[in-house]
Chains A and B, each alone.
Chain A
Amino acid sequence: MDFALVFVQMLNGLQLGLLLFLVASGLTLVFGILDFVNLAHGSLYMLGAFVCASLTFLTGNFLIAIALALPVMAVIGWGIERVVVRQLYRRDHLDQVLGSFGLLLVFDVAVHLIWGPAGIAIPLPAWLDTHIGLAEDVVIPVYRLLIIGTGLAVAALLFWLVHHTRFGMLIRAGASDRTMAGALGIDITRLFTLVFALGAALAGLAGMLVAPITEASIGMGNSVIITAFVVIVVGGIGSMKGAFIGAMIIGLIDTLGRSFIDDGFRLIMGTAAAETAGPAVSAMLIYLLMAVILALRPQGLFPPSGR
């Protein structure tokens, strides 16, 4: 196991973790404040990728496309909240799960009808589509660094927003006691819509950032949503800090597991056995980790206080 490979994989893990954080933070905000389970959150991730793809071809510039797609995603989130989600706040979680599952089906078909069944690759501008060499055998794509930088910046912005602004104060007030916050004259309805739109923009951003690597495809949101659930369950549902740390843990463990478990198993068992057991264990690794953490702490690592 050489150092360069470990370093590159750590960066990949960090990148996956930050992308997961973008998805999970919106999910945990929406759940923590609106008490709403949104299965269609992954659809917003997918929509972000497709909207950004179209805008990239329209404007010819990936970064301008992102800047334009973010408000588009917020508006889409606003619309969903107004039309469907709002009706479900007072329902039990089962109704919320089913309602948002219906939304997910609708979005999958809508994307199919608008953009067609095939995936769409987003071309990167030349200056992003290169590599930089940090050492003799450590080469890193510039775009990965951009994802990491963006992810960290957004995380910092979110923490500042939630903990040091008036909007954040209202969010925290609404999360700890919705009725009381409403009685104190806060427009809860508008606050909820804003939070949902913010969550939609965050999920969309993650989809936009990932699309140049994996391409925008139907169903891309349906696998990421489960991983995001694992992240927030591990971190403690409703906690922003938990979502961040959970995302980092899951991103790193998943990436490193897939890279090194095969080698590890080869040391202790035969090559043939390792070739079966290696991928099987690395596929299950984050879920097993979740099981262990929940067995020790059913509420996750950092359950939000005051709820």
Chain B
Amino acid sequence: MRRSDLLTLTLLALLAVLPPVFFCTGHPFYLDLATRLVILAIAATSLNLVLGYGGMVSFGHAAYIGIGAYAVGIPVYHDLWGGAAWLASTSGWVHLALAMGLSALFALGTGAISLRTRGVHFIMITMAFAQMVYYLFVSLGTYGGDDGLVIEHRSRLPGISLDNPLQLYGLCLAVLVATIVIVRTIMRSRFGQVIKGARGNEERMATLGYNTYAYRLTAFVIAGAIAGLSGFLMGNFTAFISPEMMAWTRSGELMFMVILGGTATTPGPLLGTLIFIVTEELLSHYTRHWQLPFGLMLIGVVLFMRGGLTGAFRRRE
């Protein structure tokens, strides 16, 4: 077994055992922390698909989390308060379809435009489109605008109650495992090889007859849909959604998680998210200003630790 897969399995096993044990022994807080961690790890894993393997520095990933969460909040809102009967629903399937479908659609539209550009253009354009979604929800006073929207009840799914923290966590973890497997499988397929090839040398792939634009756009849409799924889970976890969840600094944090763990590796996003969430939690115990050591850490990682933690891990091998 490859070392990186071993690391992934170890982390997943820890996540499968420890938080439920804490929960059952009367420390529900740790389950909450782990749920947030797992949901963000799903988003980070999907970001790794475009950012790590594809070399597309997408700086708007938080927007999909927001779209996914509002896809739960808005139908529930209308179910409760009336209006827009065609949208009102408490069914988890409807929410899920909306979350992933709208995210994929948003990725398709913005990707079609932004993928025609490279480098800095791409970074700025993805950022700007994400900010557009942010301002859109700020302007929608019906759904709370700036103040956000309380999701009065969670999505209804057959055979599972998302109101039960343990069951919700189980679902999130299952989705994370599925996401990791899917991304890993994609990257080992011919499709994945083309994506990686286009990162290394786009001209060569184009000369070989591959339509790199179409391949990239497909990867971008897949990543968007998975991130939308993580937003669906996030909405059900927090039962509250506000535009702040998709501020561009959130996208930056997601990127940092991927880089911290190591881009274009299977365990990287999960490891990075783990370190990020745990560090944030520890620092916030000591100081209100946890962002200060965090910012310094970020600068330090960029300046001195290239390739992230898995990179450091690999060099020692």
Q: Interface residues, chain A, CB within 8 Å of chain B? A: 31, 37, 39, 84, 87-88, 91, 93-95, 97-99, 101-106, 108-110, 112-113, 222, 226, 229-230, 232-233, 237, 276, 279-280, 282-284, 287-288, 290-291, 294-295, 298-299
CB closest residue in chain A, given B298: A102
Alpha-carbon gap, A232 to B125, bound state (A)? 10
Instruction: From B123, B125, B135, B297, give the contact of A294 (CB < 8 A).
Output: B125
Interface: B291 (CB within 8 A): yes
19 sampled A-B residue pairs with Cβ under 8 A: A84-B303, A94-B255, A97-B123, A98-B255, A99-B299, A99-B302, A102-B297, A102-B299, A106-B299, A109-B291, A113-B292, A226-B248, A232-B124, A233-B128, A276-B140, A280-B140, A283-B135, A290-B128, A299-B121
What residues on A are CB-neighbors of B301 within 8 Å? 98
CB closest residue in chain A, given B135: A283
What residues on B are CB-neighbors of A112 within 8 Å? 289
Alpha-carbon gap, A295 to B57, bound state (A)? 19
What residues on A are CB-neighbors of B10 within 8 Å? none
A226 contacts B127, CB within 8 Å? yes
Alpha-carbon gap, A145 to B199, bound state (A)? 50
B59 contacts A93, CB within 8 Å? no
Interface: B132 (CB within 8 A): yes
B295 contacts A298, CB within 8 Å? no
Assess A106 versus B296: contact at CB under 8 Å? Given A226-B127, A237-B120, A298-B117: yes
What residues on B are CB-neighbors of A230 within 8 Å? 124, 128
A226 contacts B128, CB within 8 Å? yes
Q: Is the interface of B mostly helix, strand, loop or mixed?
A: helix
- Chain B residues 160 to 215 lying within 8 A of chain A, measured CB to CB, are none
Alpha-carbon gap, A113 to B287, bound state (A)? 12
CB closest residue in chain B, given A282: B139
A102 contacts B302, CB within 8 Å? yes
What residues on B are CB-neighbors of A93 within 8 Å? 57, 119-120, 123
Interface string of B244-265 (1 = CB under 8 A from A): 0001110010011001000000
Instruction: From B57, B129, B297, give the contact of A287 (CB < 8 A).
Output: B129
What residues on A are CB-neighbors of B7 within 8 Å? none
A222 contacts B249, CB within 8 Å? yes
Instruction: From A105, A282, A294, give the contact of B116 (CB < 8 A).
Output: A294
10 other A-B residue contacts (CB within 8 Å) besides A102-B297, A237-B120:
A84-B303, A102-B299, A103-B295, A106-B295, A110-B292, A226-B128, A233-B128, A280-B139, A288-B132, A294-B114
Alpha-carbon gap, A290 to B301, bound state (A)? 33
What residues on B are CB-neighbors of A39 within 8 Å? 252
B292 contacts A109, CB within 8 Å? yes
A87 contacts B125, CB within 8 Å? no
* Chain B: interface size category: 35 or more
Interface string of B95-130 (1 = CB under 8 A from A): 000000000000000100110110111011101110
What residues on A are CB-neighbors of B292 within 8 Å? 105-106, 109-110, 113
Assess A283 versus B121: contact at CB under 8 Å? Given A97-B59, A106-B299, A298-B116: no
B135 contacts A284, CB within 8 Å? yes
Q: Is the interface of A mostly helix, strand, loop or mixed?
A: helix
Alpha-carbon gap, A298 to B255, bound state (A)? 25
Interface: B138 (CB within 8 A): yes
What residues on A are CB-neighbors of B82 within 8 Å? none
A101 contacts B256, CB within 8 Å? yes
Alpha-carbon gap, A287 to B259, bound state (A)? 28
What residues on A are CB-neighbors of B121 within 8 Å? 233, 237, 298-299
CB closest residue in chain B, given A91: B302
Instruction: From A95, A104, A237, A282, give the contact of B302 (CB < 8 A).
Output: A95
Interface: B142 (CB within 8 A): yes
Interface string of B75-111 (1 = CB under 8 A from A): 0000000000000000000000000000000000010
Alpha-carbon gap, A109 to B298, bound state (A)? 14
What residues on B are CB-neighbors of A282 within 8 Å? 139
Interface: B294 (CB within 8 A): yes
Alpha-carbon gap, A105 to B292, bound state (A)? 6
Assess A37 versus B123: contact at CB under 8 Å? Given A103-B299, A284-B135, A294-B117: yes
A37 contacts B299, CB within 8 Å? no
Instruction: From B113, B120, B256, B298, give the contact of A31 (CB < 8 A).
Output: B120
Alpha-carbon gap, A232 to B301, bound state (A)? 29
Alpha-carbon gap, A87 to B297, bound state (A)? 16
What residues on B are CB-neighbors of A294 within 8 Å? 113-114, 116-117, 125
Assess A88 versus B123: contact at CB under 8 Å? Given A108-B291, A290-B128: no
Alpha-carbon gap, A295 to B131, bound state (A)? 18
A226 contacts B131, CB within 8 Å? yes
